[in-house]
């Protein structure tokens, strides 16, 4: 690896680590960080917050900790939405309970890598410091990517980041059934 590449990697790591992994106060003293909130999920009293990653959903469902209750499918731009989910769906909003606590909706990509999501959310976090929502066309989907920040004298931190379904389309109604 070239020296300048190593320098860029070190600078990126130095900047990204506090943004995603430094703890901040959500409920108690420094009890939360952006990565945990987005990719793992947290309990805030009897409410689930965060939990915007399909891999975590898959793992927790396999362990019997997630009870899947239904989903909302987005309408891809310019396409009809079939009656059932298929292997091409890459963005869903699901309702579920996790360890006995219910989450009415959590939207996440399906089939993407954590690296892709971390890069996408980081890019939006850095490019739009004054906006909480950024419109994005990604493949067949029109969406907002929501990215809230915690402002700090030590540098801004990710509070949450997730894709958001758009529109008041009738196909965006909660549906029971298997993904």
Chain centroid to CA 44: 17
- Alpha carbon distance 52, 33 (integer Å): 14
Longest dimension (CA), the chain: 54
Please answer whether residues 74 and 136 qualify as being in contact, where contact means their C-beta atoms are separated by less than 8 angstroms.
Answer: no
> What is the dihedral sign for C-alpha 88, 128, 21, 151?
negative
- 3-state SS assignment for residue 18: helix
Residue 175's pLDDT band (cuts 50, 70, 90)? very low
Active site residues: 37, 52, 103
Q: What are the domain boundaries of the chain?
A: 3-165
Mean of pLDDT over the chain: 82
> pTM score, two decimals?
0.80
- Alpha carbon distance 161, 52 (integer Å): 8
* Averaged pLDDT for residues 1-27: 69
Asked if pLDDT for residue 81 goes beyond 60, the answer is no
Q: What is the pLDDT of residues 139-170, one digit of tens each?
A: 888 899 999 999 888 889 999 999 998 864 43
């Amino acid at each position: 690896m070239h020296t300048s590449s190593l320098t860029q990697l070190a600078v990126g790591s130095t900047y990204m680590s506090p943004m995603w992994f430094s703890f901040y106060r959500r409920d108690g003293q420094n009890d939360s960080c952006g990565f945990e909130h987005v990719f793992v999920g947290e309990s805030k009293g009897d409410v689930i917050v965060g939990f915007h990653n399909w891999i975590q959903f898959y793992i927790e469902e396999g362990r019997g900790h997630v009870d899947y209750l239904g989903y909302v499918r987005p309408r891809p731009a310019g396409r009809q939405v079939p009656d059932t989910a298929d292997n091409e769906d890459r963005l869903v909003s699901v309702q579920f309970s996790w360890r006995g606590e219910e989450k009415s909706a959590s939207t996440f990509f399906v089939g993407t890598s954590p690296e892709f999501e971390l890069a996408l959310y980081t890019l939006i976090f850095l490019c739009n410091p004054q906006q909480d929502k950024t419109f994005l066309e990604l493949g067949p989907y029109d969406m907002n990517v929501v990215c809230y920040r915690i402002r700090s004298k030590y540098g801004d931190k990710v509070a949450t980041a997730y894709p958001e379904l758009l529109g008041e389309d009738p196909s965006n109604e909660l549906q029971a059934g298997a993904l």
